[in-house]
Chains A and B, each alone.
Chain A
Amino acid sequence: QSALTQPASVSGSPGQSITISCTGTSRDVGGYNYVSWYQQHPGQAPKLIIYDVNNRPSGISNRFSGSKSGNTASLTISGLQADDEADYYCSSDTGATTRLFGTGTKVTVL
């Protein structure tokens, strides 16, 4: 597998909640709790927003939350704001001394 599968785009209105899925296999997402999520604004480096499935680094808003069920991890953004408009990537350890990123999801705030 070359990349984890994410929807190409997700959109929502300000104040709404949206969820981005990240689908892998039992060898990566389903096998370990080492799923992380990154936010990338245009022209900027990615920024860690969720690690170990559902933990937020210091300084990250509690509007961002993560979960996992089977081989699919999810990122939920609640109370959608204009600044949340960005690309989002998931990542997972594969258990084979490699790491995979997701295909990326563009979030649009309507």
Chain B
Amino acid sequence: QVQLQESGPGLVKPSETLSLGCTVSGGSVNNADYFWGWIRQTPGKGLEWIGSVDYSGSAHYSRSLKSRVIISIDKSKNQFYLKVNSMTAADTAVYYCARDRGSSSGRVFFYYMDIWGAGTTVTVSS
């Protein structure tokens, strides 16, 4: 079955850029039925959608993070990525990647996130 696994540094300095990857196994990211998304959860808080990218590389972002985030996809490696610049302590969180069932042809709709990675903890500290 499809599985997702996050990778990347657990510690980032303030003002630096966070780079995370998500490896998809058991299935292909080159699938028009899905987006590939990133979600974060700050300590003791709720879930926050960061954004999602489709198989063609078209990405959509949360309004609150749009100015600092880039999500990309590499079909040859079956991976997708998250970059967040100008990191601060407020960005300390568990970051999840997930498969996001939706529609990217014509009008964009996000239906549901059916497969999640285990999550990776990112701490922002000098």
Contact = CB atoms under 8 A, between A and B. Distances in A.
Interface residues of A, number: 25
A48 B114 contact: yes
B2 interface: no
A110 B123 CA distance: 35
B62 A98 contact: yes
A102 interface: yes
A69 interface: no
A64 interface: no
Nearest to A2: B64
Contacts of B108: 97
Interface of B: 37, 39, 46-49, 52, 60-64, 96, 100-102, 108-114, 116-119
Given A52-B112, A89-B47, A91-B49, 5 more contacts: A36-B112, A38-B47, A46-B47, A51-B111, A93-B110
